Amino acid sequence: MSGGLPDERVEQLVALLTRLATGDLSARGSTSPAEDDLDAIVLGVNMLAEELEASRAELERRVRERTAEFERLNHDVMQLAELGNLLQACADADEAYAVIGHGMRAMFDGLSGVLYRYNASRNLLELRSQWGELDQPDTVTPDQCWALRRGQQHVVDATSPALSCRHVERRTGDSVCIPMAAHGETSGMLHLMGHESEPAPRERWLTEDRRRLGVAVSEQTALSLANLELRETLRTQALRDPLTGLYNRRFVEDWIGRETSRADHSGRSLGVVMADIDRFKRFNDANGHDAGDRLLQAVAEAIRRGLRHGDVPCRYGGEEFLLLLPDLPADQIVVRAEELRASVGRVRVEHQGLPLPGVTLSAGVALYPEHGATAVDVVQAADRALYAAKRAGRDRVVVAG
């Protein structure tokens, strides 16, 4: 070859460049023992190959990290969606808190946490769900938590816990408190803590990703619980009398139809008691409607205390109450009605600091199907028996028929 360079050296350089061009970044060239003019080119190519190989390794590392991050994010999103779906299907708050505890353990595996909710008076937060290794108090006051006082999440580094919340009794790592808010109102607080003592794996650290997930979970959970409570409130308003808390007439008319059908199939009985406060209008006129409402509440409470689990008390209208007593023989229904009559006779209430006079109760008793072939018939039979008790002098129990 002209220029004093052997063809073999040129071919080696061309082969090196070809391997690098096809993606083999591990290829390296060798210098000549004779130290020819191609040695500088070979050394330069080797340096370039080393830089490219290092860059590719770093790029591959970043791709792996980003892929793992996307996989974690996708996993978190799916778990968050599953938690939301389960909460929407919950029938009551107790069921929802059990679902939350299960979901939190799955999403924050390796961490500990608690969920607090405000009580009805909004002066305390009560522990509703707990997971992991934390030993937290059952109740927390709002001023014990920096997040609730500031209205934003509060992160504490385990290495400098100077601003740790007072409800944290034992610190095992970084922690975050996140206010839970729905419909513009703070309803509770989510508290998460890591366990970072050596040799704790990274899964037990409270990372920034997990803090962000905690914010998303608190928003999802707060909204779901608020919707559940609203649904429960609307259901209660639809089924309960707002003054006494007893079932309303609409609920009982639906319930008694189902219960008489069940009695037809099982051969069991259904007792019906129609009761009425004697001379309630006279009481209202003498003491005022507020006093009358107070008396109705006290009578309803006396009736509720005197019933079994499964009995159904209803405010049927005004001062009239309907009681449904399944699976009791006739003589026991009469005994129960007499006990309720005596219990109401002992009711004493005060209004505006003054004692109110006592009242008496009259009641009519009917049994399905003995006193009526349908639900409507048996209720009417109990109502006729009630009026018979009124005509007989009040403050007594009369059996239909």
Cα–Cα distances (Å) from 243 to 295, 319, 323, 347, in that order, read 11, 12, 17, 17
Could you give the strand order of the β-sheet that contains 397-399, starting from the edge strand earlier in sequence? 312-317, 320-326, 270-277, 361-368, 397-399
Q: At what angle do helices 280-287 and 289-305 cross, to 10 degrees?
A: 130
What is d(CA 178, CA 210) in angstroms, rounded to the nearest whole number?
12
Q: CB under 8 Å to 146, separation ≥6 — which residues?
A: 154, 163, 165, 177
Q: Strand locations in 224-265, DSSP E? A: none
The three-state secondary structure class of 41 is helix
Per annotation, catalytic residue among 60, 319, 338, 370: 319
Q: Which of 289, 400, 395, 292 is nearest to 343 (CA)?
A: 395
Q: How many CB atoms lie within 10 A of CB 186?
A: 17
The three-state secondary structure class of 367 is strand
What is d(CA 232, CA 3) in angstroms, rounded to the nearest whole number?
95
Annotated catalytic, 8? no
Q: Strand locations in 221-261, DSSP E? A: none
Stretch (H or E) spanning 354: strand 354-355
Residues assigned a catalytic role: 319
